[in-house]
């Protein structure tokens, strides 16, 4: 079974910082542009709830969590 | 959906007496009929009112709904475009041209680095309150000076200019002066900011405005940006601190819980943001015919989004009219949603976390100095809701 995978689109990001605030172990903002940095594309289980919340509160739809589908090959 | 939509006829609707923290009854009633109602704008034009959480979020995330000031269809004369730099009232690509250079200056990490400085500013205000003794007006003694000093430091307003600068912005933000005085204060602030931008360009200092002179933005644009940072960063936080303290004093069991457990502070700030939503309404205008919740929003029609009512949507927040500092309030719309979501929200959070915590720790017996019905509220027509003054007292040692 494969793990859920995150993606971040810096072109859509507006740098509100909601992801870095909500899931600081998974997301950061780069110090110059303030845009999203993905620290863990496959977040460990302990950080998945926070990562899901971060996706839910992102104002610009710049981050997404791709849950593995039942038919996916591991 | 074929039945005639619910119609709200009087905007701005007024809050019910004795319910200073709740949206006006007419808006709550509209939300019970559905997330979208017809309305008449205060300027007389027909429009739509959004009171549902999901619908408000959908509109704010949809580029077919414009923020442009010159497209706003609320009065029967044409509004001018937003002045250079005032990107809140612009769409892409103009909006990003202004917002992008600012984003890196307001990150979570950079704002947290201001914590100690904001703690010192807060402690100085509390020391002054203690030295003067009770009672005091919390608005002038605490809620206004903290965000004012912080935004002055971010813009690099020299120390010796701050008193006169604060007088000017008080006059044009307070809504308590005549039109002539308002225009005079606005003009004086514009002139001051123009001089400040020129001074930072000539001799940069350690502040955000000086850093921005290093971008391709013109002096006129930097003046507009400074004005927007000032307008967005001062009145909002000041009213959250005073109205938030009032709300906590009126919910003593919540205040007691927060006082007893400092780990509740961050969540309490989110809950106060949700519950009070002092920046209560924003506008969007349809660029084309848009289907929304089974209705057609005609091109050129302006929607009013009641963030406050959307943040009380029982479909999103259980028991929404209760102030509950232990609630998971994340996802609230107090800072908006979509590409215009508040640039300074991480600064506002640090200011509120520090200031609420320090206030309740310093004065364990803090209470209203007048009966609650004598606390004077801002009129509903003001952009930002709040109290005009908040007389408080405490047991001096």
Q: Out of B331, B339, B349, name the one closest to residue A14 (CB).
A: B339
Q: Does A14 contact chain B (CB < 8 Å)?
A: yes
pLDDT at A74: 46
The pLDDT confidence band at residue A1, using thresholds 50, 70 and 90, is low
In a domain, B201, yes or no: yes
pLDDT at B12: 84
Three-state DSSP class for B160? helix
Domain range for B356: 7-393
Q: What is the Rg, in whole angstroms, of the alpha carbon atoms belonging to chain A?
A: 12
The pLDDT confidence band at residue A73, using thresholds 50, 70 and 90, is low
Low-confidence ranges of chain B (pLDDT < 70): 1-2, 173-176
Q: Which of B96, B98, B104 to mutate to test the interface with A (most CBs of A within 10 A)?
A: B104
Contact B48, B34 (CB under 8 A): no
The pLDDT confidence band at residue A72, using thresholds 50, 70 and 90, is low
Interchain contact, A31 vs B108, CB within 8 Å: no
Three-state DSSP class for B149? helix
In a domain, B240, yes or no: yes
Residues of B in contact with A24 (CB under 8 A): 108
Reported as a single tens digit per residue, the pLDDT across A13-63 is: 999 999 999 999 999 999 999 999 999 999 999 999 999 999 999 999 999
Q: Which of B61, B63, B106, B107 to mutate to test the interface with A (most CBs of A within 10 A)?
A: B107
Q: Look up the CATH number of the domain holding residue B250.
A: 1.10.630.10
pLDDT at B177: 75
* CA–CA gap between residue B36 and residue B49 (Å, rounded): 6
The count of other CB atoms within 10 Å of the CB of residue B178 is 8
Chain A residue whose CA is closest to B108: A17
pLDDT at B175: 62
Q: For chain A, what are the domain ranges?
A: 5-66
Kindly report the CATH number that applies to the domain delimited by A5-66.
3.30.70.20
In a domain, B2, yes or no: no
* CA–CA gap between residue B240 and residue B347 (Å, rounded): 13
Reported as a single tens digit per residue, the pLDDT across B45-68 is: 999 999 999 999 999 999 999 999
In a domain, B103, yes or no: yes
Q: How many domains, chain B?
A: 1
| pTM assigned to the model | 0.95
ipTM of the complex: 0.91
Residues of B in contact with A35 (CB under 8 A): 103
């Amino acid at each position: 079974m494969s793990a859920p995978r995150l993606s971040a689109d810096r072109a859509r990001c507006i740098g509100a910082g909601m992801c870095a605030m909500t899931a600081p172990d998974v997301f950061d903002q780069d110090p110059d542009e303030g845009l999203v940095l993905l620290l863990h594309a496959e977040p460990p289980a302990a950080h998945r709830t926070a990562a899901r919340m971060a996706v839910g509160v992102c104002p610009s739809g710049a981050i997404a969590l791709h849950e593995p589908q039942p038919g996916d090959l591991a | 959906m074929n039945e005639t939509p619910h119609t709200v006829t009087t905007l701005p609707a007024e809050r019910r007496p004795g319910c200073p923290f709740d949206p006006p009854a007419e808006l709550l009633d509209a939300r019970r009929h559905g997330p979208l109602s017809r309305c008449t704008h205060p300027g007389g034009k027909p429009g739509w009112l959004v009171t549902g959480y999901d619908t408000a979020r959908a509109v704010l995330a949809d580029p077919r709904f414009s923020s442009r000031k010159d497209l706003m269809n609320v009065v029967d004369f044409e509004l001018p475009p937003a002045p250079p730099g005032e990107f809140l009232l612009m769409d892409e690509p103009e909006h990003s041209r202004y917002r992008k250079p600012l984003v890196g200056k307001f990150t979570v990490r950079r704002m947290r680095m201001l914590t100690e400085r904001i703690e010192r500013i807060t402690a100085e205000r509390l020391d002054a309150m203690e030295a003067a003794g009770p009672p005091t007006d919390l608005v002038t003694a605490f809620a206004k000076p903290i965000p004012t000093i912080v935004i002055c430091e971010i813009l690099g307003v020299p120390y010796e200019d701050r008193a006169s600068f604060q007088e000017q912005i008080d006059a044009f933000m307070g809504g308590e002066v005549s039109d002539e005085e308002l225009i005079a204060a606005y003009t004086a602030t514009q002139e001051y900011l123009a001089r400040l931008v020129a001074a930072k360009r000539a001799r940069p200092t350690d502040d955000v405005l000086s850093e921005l002179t290093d971008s391709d933005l013109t002096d006129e644009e930097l003046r507009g940006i400074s004005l927007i940072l000032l307008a967005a960063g001062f009145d909002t936080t000041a009213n959250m601190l005073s109205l938030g303290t009032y709300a906590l004093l009126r919910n003593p069991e919540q205040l007691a819980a927060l006082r007893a457990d400092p780990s509740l502070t961050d969540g309490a700030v989110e809950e106060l943001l949700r519950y009070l939503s002092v920046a209560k309404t924003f506008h969007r205008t349809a660029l084309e015919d848009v289907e929304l919740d089974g209705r057609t929003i005609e091109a050129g029609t302006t929607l009013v989004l009641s963030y406050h009512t959307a943040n009380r949507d029982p479909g999103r927040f259980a028991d929404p009219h209760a102030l509950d500092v232990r609630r998971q309030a994340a996802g609230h719309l107090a800072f908006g949603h979509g590409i215009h979501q508040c640039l300074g929200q991480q600064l506002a959070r640090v200011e509120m976390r520090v200031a609420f915590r320090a206030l309740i720790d310093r004065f364990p017996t803090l209470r209203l100095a007048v009966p609650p019905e004598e606390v004077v509220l801002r009129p509903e027509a003001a952009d930002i809701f709040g109290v005009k003054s908040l007389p408080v007292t405490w047991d001096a040692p």
